[in-house]
Amino acid sequence: MKKAIVFDLDGTLLNTLDDLCDSTNYALAALHFPPRTLDEVRRFVGNGIRKLIERAVPDTASAEQTEECYRVFCEHYKHNMENKTKEYDGISDMLSALQDAGYRMAIVTNKADFAAQELCSTLFGKYVKTVVGSVDGRPNKPAPDGVYYALEQMGVTPDEAVFVGDSEVDIQTAHNAHLDAVGVLWGFRDETQLRATGVKTLVRTPKELKNMLLKLKSC
């Protein structure tokens, strides 16, 4: 029987892409670098803000320029992370049903911890108490460290939990942490990209995910 669910955040519970793109282009403009398109930023996300900026700056950018771009991004994003960000349709209904079924839930994300804590507290605080963001000293996904920390907080073992995410990073994280993986198809990666990871279970809507997880709880 499964007792817990570990969710990714960006692209799984929240559509954060527009705000990430806006802050990326604000930071790039501050360094007089050309902007990036929404589709480019979609490809760049998944490994944390620092990697996003490293991918977004031109190849000619120096280490100092990249670091400054990262600093500007973080400062801008702190004050603009909720401008356009919203949960995907059906997410709150799903979380409520899973909570009622007795699931323990956590969010493990490569998003900077300051942003993860604020967004999750505002939007999902009544459902999810364990939120693990990116911090210095703990490897980001696909390393399993954040997942293991979340499982410890919830008091469950890897075989009692499921990992739900929208990217190849999430599927690899689940594999590294020895959790069953579920890929969602409404996020930042398409079906071809997810199937290439070898994931066995894919869902197309939060309602489908909810029903699948509720069945696992009763098995």
Instruction: Report which secondary-structure segment, H or E, holds 163.
Output: strand 161-165
Cα separation, 18 vs 151, whole angstroms: 31
At residue 124, what are phi and psi to the nearest 5 degrees? -130, 15
- DSSP, res 10: B
Residue of 8, 19, 166, 170 with catalytic role: 8
Cα separation, 3 vs 181, whole angstroms: 14
Contact (CB, 8 A) for 88 and 186:
yes
Across 3-38, b (16+ Cβ under 10 Å) vs e yields bbbbbbbbbbbbbbbebbbbbbbbbbeeeebeebee
| Residues 6+ away with beta carbon under 8 Å from 211 | none
113 is catalytic: no
Cα separation, 93 vs 144, whole angstroms: 28
At residue 59, what are phi and psi to the nearest 5 degrees? -60, -25
Closest CA to 11 of 78, 86, 72: 86
The catalytic residues are: 8
